[in-house]
Structure 1
Amino acid sequence: MWKLKIAEGGSPWLRTLNNHVGRQVWEFDPKLGTSEELMEIEKVREEFREHRFEKKHSSDLLMRIQFAKENPRGTYLPQVKVKESEDVTEEAVTTTLRRGISYHSTIQAHDGHWPGDYGGPMFLLPGLVITLSITGALNAVLSKEHQQEMCRYLYNHQNQDGGWGLHIEGPSTMFGTALNYVTLRLLGEGADDGQGSMEKGRKWILDRGGATAITSWGKMWLSVLGAFEWSGNNPLPPEIWLCPYLLPFHPGFYLIIHYFYINFFVFLFLN
């Protein structure tokens, strides 16, 4: 059974200046969990899989189940429903507020912060798996259980047309589909595995011209893997890093824009 570890180390190679504050790591313990708890986890997984095209985010369900056991709510308050023709009473408002406080207290970690999944991007995991593969460290770094969950994650976020998007809510792209298909193969999935999912992914790629239609970043990763000729990549002169950051063709320009929008919306939200 999986357990989320908060602000813990566990490796002599992992150094920290703040006692691992903010670090969240999923660890697999084969001895953890009763048969009832394991059945609950499988039920949640199956429900998410069946409705994955309707609600594409997992909402950290495994984490919430774990925290619900570690932080029992105590007295259960019934949900308040107010019809349009009814007046909103003070009692109804108080009950709703208490329910909200109780719920958010339940999903709070023991050190005081609220953990959250960095879910969404579908182009980060392929880079990790490709790098571990070419360095021969895939099975040394990723346990069998970790690889199994990675495959489950990729299958769960495959679009209905067989492809993968740039993120879990996005339409299928060659960048997302080719890289995630390759990732599944590197994780041990066969050409016909996934109850037809691998075949659908391969068909999506071939029907749109093959992996040669992938973007430059994708070509780079495939070249690193040895699946695409380096001559097919557009050159990127390293000297452009010496240009001012505000120039649109500077590699860091988009990071500046990205952080500007994040801070702008945070400012609006807090004010």
Structure 2
Amino acid sequence: MWRLKIAEGGSPWLRTTNNHAGRQVWEFDPSLGTPEEIEEVEKAREAFRESRFEKKNSADLLMRMQFAKENPLEMDYPIIRIQDDEDVTEEALVTSLRKAISIFSTHQAHDGHWPGEFAGPMFFLPGLIITFHVTGTLNTVLTPEHQKEIRRYLYNHQNRDGGWGFHIEGKSTMFGSALCYVTLRLLGQEPDDGDGAMEKGREWILDHGSATCTTSWGKIWLSVLGVFDWSGNNPLPPEMWLLPYFVPFHPGMHLLENNE
């Protein structure tokens, strides 16, 4: 079972000037959790998977479930319902504010900050996995449980049409689709795995021109991996990085341009 660790180092090489305040790390402990708690987590995962196309953000549900046990909330405030033709009384306002503050206090970590998921971009994770792969450290840095959750994350954020977007709520793009598909393959998924998800992803890529139609940033990562020839990348003179961002051919804009 996974546990969110707050404000802990975990490595003698990781130093800090604020005692790791605000640091969040998910740790897997096979002995953690009762059968009832594990079942509760699995039900939450299945509920998210079933509604993933309508509600694409996890809403930090696993974290909230953990905090609910660590910071139990005794809510004894009355239910406030105000009709359209009613005036808002001071008592109703104060009661509502107290309820809101009580709920938010249960989501606060012991070091003072409010943790939250960094959800959205689908292009950071592939670069990390490709780097681990080419340096031979994939299985050293990532445990089997971490790799399992990464695969689950990518499958859960695959669009209905089989592709992946630039971010979890975006329509399918070649940039997101090619990199996410390659990431799953590097994490041990075969072409027919994922109950047809891998096949759908591959079909989307081929139907939209193949990975040669991805952005420059995508081509660079594929070249780093060794599956795309470096000659297929557009040369970028380093002096172009000195240009202001509003210039249309600034490298930062070019790397992210959305070639679908």
Question: Scaled by the length of structure 2, what TM-score is found?
Answer: 0.92
How do residues 14-163 of structure 1 correspond to structure 2 at under 5 angstroms?
14-163=14-163
1:223: Cα distance to partner? 0.6
Offset of 1:68 from its aligned partner?
1.0
Give the number of the structure with larger relative contact order, counting CA–CA contacts within 8 Å between residues 6 or more apart.
2
1:199-218 alignment runs, 5 A limit: 199-218=199-218
Superposed, which structure 2 residues align to 1:149-188 within 5 Å? Answer: 149-188=149-188
**Can you list the C-alpha shifts for 1:89-131, whole angstroms capped at 9, x where unaligned?**
3333232212111110010000111111111000000000000
Q: Note closer, same or farther for the CA distance 1:78–1:35 as it changes in structure 2 (3 Å cut).
A: farther
Q: State the AA in 2 paired with 1:155.
A: Y
Between the aligned partners of 2:224 and 2:253, the Cα distance in structure 1 is: 25
Structure 2 residue identity aligned to 1:3: R
- Equivalent in the alignment of 1:257: none
How big is each residue's C-alpha offset from its partner over 1:34-61, in whole Å with a ceiling of 9 and x where there is no partner? Answer: 1111111111111111111111110111
Amino acid at match of 1:118: F
Structure 1, unmatched stretches of 5+, are 255-271
Per the alignment, in what secondary structure is the counterpart of residue 3 of structure 2? strand
Contact 1:245 1:252 in 2 (8 A): no
**In the alignment, what sits opposite 1:265?**
none
Query: C-alpha separation between the residues in 2 aligned to 1:209 and 1:244?
Result: 32
Identity score, percent:
70
Q: Provide, for residues 145-180 of structure 1, a one-character-per-residue CA deviation record: whole Å limited to 9, x for no partner.
A: 000100111111111111100001111000000000
Alpha-carbon RMSD: 1.7
Tell me which stretches of 4 or more aligned residues in structure 1 moved more than 6 Å.
none
- Cα distance in 2 between the residues matched to 1:138 and 1:213: 28
Residues 207-254 of structure 1 show CA distances to partners (whole Å, capped at 9, x for unaligned) of 11111111110000001101111110001112333x354662444689
Q: CA deviation at 1:63?
A: 0.7
Q: In structure 2, how many angstroms separate the alpha carbons of the residues matched to 1:189 and 1:138? A: 14
- TM-score calculated relative to the size of structure 1: 0.88
Query: What are the superposed Cα offsets for residues 52-89 of structure 1, whole Å, 9 maximum, x if unpaired?
Result: 11111101111111111111112343543323244433
The 1-side partners of 2:243 and 2:170 are apart by 32
Letter in 2 for 1:224: V
Aligned residue pairs total 253
